[in-house]
Chain A
Amino acid sequence: MKEVKYSLTDLHSLLDVGLRHNNLINKKSPFHNIAKEVYSSLSKSGDTLSNKFYKNMKIDVLRNHTNTTNPKIKSFDTDNETSLVLIDDGYLHLTSSDYFAGKYECNFYNPTTFGNKLKLYQDYFEPTGRIGDLALIHSTGPVGIRYKNQAKSQITVKYADRYKDNDLNCVVAIIDVGEGANVTIEETFENKEGCKIYKIIYLVREHGKLKVTRYHDETNKEKGLNVIETQVVQFPNSKFDIETIGSGSLYNQDLLYIDSYRNCKTDVKGRFNCKNESINNIVVDVHHKDIESESNIDVKSVLDDKSYSSFLGNIIVDDDATDVKAHLTNKNLLLSDRASAVSEPQLDINTKEIECTHGCTISNINENDLYYLTSKGIDTFQATELLKEAFLK
Chain B
Amino acid sequence: MLVVQDLSIKVDEYSPILKQLTLEYGPGVHIIMGPNGVGKSTFAHALMGNPSYQVEGGATLNNNDLLDLETYERAQAGLFVSFQNPTPIEGLSNFQFVKQCLTAKNGPISIKDNLTKFRGLSDDLGLDPSWDKKQLNLEASGGEKKKNELIQLDMLDPQVAILDEPDSGLDVDAIKVLVEKLNEFASKEGKCLIIISHYAELIKKLNPNTLTVIERSGYAKQTDNIDIAYNILENGFEDEGSKI
Q: Does B87 contact A392, Cβ atoms closer than 8 Å?
A: no
Closest to A391 in B: B91
Q: Does B104 contact A378, Cβ atoms closer than 8 Å?
A: yes
Q: Does A376 contact B51, Cβ atoms closer than 8 Å?
A: no
* A270 shortest CB reach to chain B, Å: 15
Of B15-23, B71-79, B118-126, B234-242, the segment with at least 4 beta carbons within 8 Å of chain A is B71-79
Cα(A393)–Cα(B135), bound, Å: 11
Q: Which of A373, A378, A390 sits near B90, CB closer than 8 Å?
A: A390
Q: Which of B49, B89, B105 sits near A372, CB closer than 8 Å?
A: B89
Cα(A387)–Cα(B91), bound, Å: 8
Chain B residues lying within 8 Å of A369, measured Cβ to Cβ, are: 87, 89
Q: Which of B75, B91, B104, B152 sits near A392, CB closer than 8 Å?
A: B91
Q: Mark B83-105, 1 if CB is under 8 A from A, else 0.
A: 10011011110000100110011
Q: Does A375 contact B (CB under 8 A)?
A: yes
> Residues of A within 8 Å of B, CB-based: how many?
23
Given A382-B104, A386-B100, are A374 and B91 neighbors across the interface (CB < 8 Å)?
A: no
Q: Does B81 contact A (CB under 8 A)?
A: yes
* A290 shortest CB reach to chain B, Å: 34
Q: Does A371 contact B (CB under 8 A)?
A: yes
Cα(A51)–Cα(B231), bound, Å: 77
Q: Does B72 contact A390, Cβ atoms closer than 8 Å?
A: no
Q: Which of A379, A392, A393 sits near B70, CB closer than 8 Å?
A: A379
Q: Size band of the B side of the interface?
A: 20 to 34
Q: Does A9 contact B (CB under 8 A)?
A: no
Q: Does B90 contact A376, Cβ atoms closer than 8 Å?
A: no
* A175 shortest CB reach to chain B, Å: 31
Closest to B85 in A: A368
Q: Does B91 contact A393, Cβ atoms closer than 8 Å?
A: yes
Given A371-B51, A386-B100, are A379 and B72 neighbors across the interface (CB < 8 Å)?
A: yes
* B52 shortest CB reach to chain A, Å: 8
Q: Which of B72, B74, B81, B91 sits near A378, CB closer than 8 Å?
A: B72
Cα(A383)–Cα(B76), bound, Å: 14
Q: Which of A366, A375, A386, A392 sits near B71, CB closer than 8 Å?
A: A375
Q: Does A353 contact B (CB under 8 A)?
A: no
Chain A residues lying within 8 Å of B76, measured Cβ to Cβ, are: 377
Cα(A372)–Cα(B71), bound, Å: 10
* A268 shortest CB reach to chain B, Å: 19
Chain B residues lying within 8 Å of A372, measured Cβ to Cβ, are: 83, 86-87, 89
Q: Does B75 contact A377, Cβ atoms closer than 8 Å?
A: yes
Chain A residues lying within 8 Å of B71, measured Cβ to Cβ, are: 371, 374-375
Q: Does A389 contact B (CB under 8 A)?
A: yes
Most chain A beta-carbon contacts within 10 A, residue among B71, B74, B92, B156: B71
Q: Does A337 contact B (CB under 8 A)?
A: no
Chain B residues lying within 8 Å of A383, measured Cβ to Cβ, are: 72
Chain B residues lying within 8 Å of A220, measured Cβ to Cβ, are: none
Cα(A141)–Cα(B170), bound, Å: 69
Nearest 5 CB-CB pairs, A to B? A390-B91, A393-B91, A377-B75, A390-B92, A374-B71
Given A380-B72, A389-B92, 4 more A-B residue pairs with CB atoms under 8 Å apart are A368-B87, A376-B97, A378-B104, A390-B90
Q: List 24 A-B contacts (CB under 8 A).
A: A368-B87, A371-B50, A372-B89, A373-B100, A374-B49, A374-B70, A374-B71, A375-B45, A375-B49, A375-B72, A375-B81, A376-B75, A376-B80, A376-B97, A376-B101, A377-B75, A377-B76, A379-B72, A380-B70, A380-B72, A387-B89, A387-B92, A393-B90, A393-B92
